[in-house]
Chains A and B, each alone.
Chain A
């Protein structure tokens, strides 16, 4: 949360996360080299440089698959939320590995001629109309440029100064980068003629990413349905029985305009705020109340349920909504109040929860 910037907001969890990430990537690269050496022998043996290139490249695309799967996995099962917590570091590490792969590839294949290596990269193969001879390296370069922009703007400073919507749009470029990288790897595998294993692994990875995204989207759609307007004149939304909301948790309802509202139960009271965290748009309704504050499951940003303001010294504010309980059912006014507006919570009839 924004008071003063530090270069990395490390804590114990993030250090453990980062250590596991680095150890996992190193283990993958080592295993790739060992297995490849055992598999490709004699006349088919690969040079150390090419082995390292492929180990780094495949490590980067495996990590990118992991990054893309974490979001929908966390949506489908809250047990994956801890993986989401530090996804930015995973993204930066993926870029650094991809950059090393790209630099080694340009140096190895284009660094020993009379031309500038980058000029050589762009001009040595111009078979753009041929599938079997397509210059797939250019696709990797395009993906690397996108990944650089994302890694370079991953700090909260950029989120705040580019505006959340611009930052989000910039970081949604991960999907075009993914498409470019899938094409880069698929065409590279096609051209090196070493069997279908890379194609099979890539196909499985693409199916996993697409399947998880579709699954997550369907779950969101189902969740957004079934919150009828209780009074056509007042337009308040029915958010279900108050007793059905677990203590210090939320139920998410969706307005007809598609906005999601998180209805929290805390200390025997009901409060409603926008489901969108002011930080990176994380789903507040999937978080919980910790130390009296709604806590975003993505990066731990906090807001008071009564007024949608972050506790001092932080200054973030989110939209709040009026709530009431009629006949034991929670009703929410879908017209959002200006961010940070205090709202009287609705009192549950039964005894206050823990």
Chain B
């Protein structure tokens, strides 16, 4: 693999993960309760534990979060 190709791949992966870290940080503070009622009042240790997964799967998380926000409050 050429060095430039490797740099592009790693830059893309880094950018994806940077966005993921930002989304995950906001999500575990303000979003997790809205997509899963069982997370309401959950401890910080739990929120910290799910944050690597939220950073890796941030497109899924973002979509679920937006869907939850669009649903009318019951």
Which A residues lie at the B interface, using CB under 8 A?
A: 2-8, 115-116, 118-119, 122-123, 126, 148-149, 151-153, 155, 157-158, 160-162
Which residues of the other chain, A, contact B46 by a CB distance below 8 angstroms? 5-7, 155, 157
| 25 A–B contacts, CB within 8 A, in A order | A2-B38, A4-B39, A5-B39, A6-B42, A6-B45, A7-B49, A8-B49, A116-B7, A118-B6, A118-B10, A119-B7, A122-B6, A148-B52, A148-B56, A149-B53, A149-B56, A152-B56, A153-B53, A155-B49, A155-B53, A160-B36, A161-B35, A161-B64, A162-B57, A162-B60
Q: How far is the CA of A8 from the CA of B48 in the complex (A)?
A: 12
Which residues of the other chain, A, contact B53 by a CB distance below 8 angstroms? 149, 152-153, 155, 158
Interface string of B36-65 (1 = CB under 8 A from A): 101111110110111011001100100010
Contacting A at CB under 8 A, from B6-35, are 6-7, 9-10, 32, 35
Nearest Cβ on chain B to A48's Cβ, whole angstroms? 30
- The residue of chain B having its C-beta at the shortest distance from the C-beta of A128 within the complex is B1
Which residues of the other chain, B, contact A157 by a CB distance below 8 angstroms? 32, 36, 38-39, 46, 50
Judge whether A153 and B57 touch: CB under 8 Å.
yes
Interface size class of B (residues with CB under 8 A): 20 to 34
**With known contacts A2-B38, A122-B1, A153-B53, A7–B45 Cβ distance under 8 A:** yes
Judge whether A161 and B7 touch: CB under 8 Å.
no
Which residues of the other chain, A, contact B43 by a CB distance below 8 angstroms? 6-7
Nearest Cβ on chain A to B51's Cβ, whole angstroms? 9
Nearest Cβ on chain B to A141's Cβ, whole angstroms? 11
Nearest Cβ on chain A to B12's Cβ, whole angstroms? 12
Judge whether A5 and B48 touch: CB under 8 Å.
no
Contact of A160 among B38, B40, B48 (CB under 8 A): B38
Which residues of the other chain, A, contact B64 by a CB distance below 8 angstroms? 161
Nearest Cβ on chain B to A130's Cβ, whole angstroms? 15
Judge whether A4 and B7 touch: CB under 8 Å.
no
Q: How far is the CA of A152 from the CA of B61 in the complex (A)?
A: 14
Q: How far is the CA of A123 from the CA of B9 in the complex (A)?
A: 12
Q: How far is the CA of A162 from the CA of B40 in the complex (A)?
A: 18
Which residues of the other chain, B, contact A155 by a CB distance below 8 angstroms? 46, 49-50, 53
Contact of A158 among B2, B9, B40, B50 (CB under 8 A): B50
